[in-house]
Structure 1
């Protein structure tokens, strides 16, 4: 997992989230209220939930378009279990949180697994890559 993860506040603007994604060359950012994970915002959230809806990026808050139903894992979980979860819900990255405090401690991506666990990763990638329903609703 990556342990030095940058996050963004739900009070920040969507424009700032996009700028930070560009600076870090990532497609998703954990959203934290202090140390506690409260959501995730992706480039797709910005595009579909904000830009396509005609919202102004300077005045739209991250908290207004982020996904709040975030799947997380713990650093102690088995690789196969986390990969299975990623495949089940078609996600490519999972925030790693402390089990007791729910604070963000890292993030693990499908790419992280691909370099170490080819067999289970191939199966998860196949599940993740299946077409899914369009998400035009707000996450909360």
Structure 2
């Protein structure tokens, strides 16, 4: 099964020139811990609640800090044509609960979560990903 069969296609994004406060408000309203950062339809990074709360506060940054200054770049992505098991392994290795899905030009096509894997792949791929995500000692990306 391809990841395009299980991913969520309607993904809200944020722009790099928006503020940390705008990102945090979005996270509260959608009950999400991360948001893809895009320029046009091209994925350039992710911003997480941890980026804002831990990195931002540790560096003394306020709510008006631009997303580009807090976002995580160099993120792990799933390719739109990858199979579910490969993506589950990527999630496990990177210890993340969500992965953006991109095409060959890094255009954001969707996002896949552990929940998507659990609902659509008989749970095996989700179990594999969850085992890696749950391992202590990794550096989340």
> Which of 21, 33, 36 matches 1:15?
21
Q: Within the alignment, does 1:42 sit opposite 2:16 as a pair?
A: no
TM alignment of 1:17-32, pairs within 5 A? 17-32=23-38
The answer as to 2:77 corresponding to 1:69 is: no
Match in the other structure for 1:81: 86
- Supply the RMSD in Å over aligned alpha carbons: 1.6
SS, match of residue 83 in structure 1: helix
What is the distance in 1 between the residues matched to 2:137 and 2:131?
A: 13
Residue in structure 1 matching 2:130, options 125, 128, 132: 125
Say if 2:119 is the partner of 1:115.
yes
Please list every run of 5 or more consecutive structure 1 residues that lacks an aligned counterpart in the other structure: none
Q: Distance in 1 between matches of 2:101 and 2:30?
A: 19
Q: TM-score w.r.t. structure 2 length? A: 0.88
| CA 125–12 in structure 1, closer or farther in 2 if over 3 Å, else same | same
Unaligned runs of 5+ in 2: 1-6
Shift of 1:54: 2.1
| Residue-pair matches, total | 134
Are 1:94 and 2:85 an aligned pair? no
The answer to whether the 8 A contact 1:51-1:57 is kept is no
* Distance in 1 of aligned mates of 2:41 and 2:83: 24
**1:22-78 deviations in Å (ceiling 9; x for gaps):** 1222111000011111000011111111123321112x1100110001111122111
> 2:20, 2:109 → 1: CA distance?
23
CA distance in 2, matches of 1:72, 1:45: 18
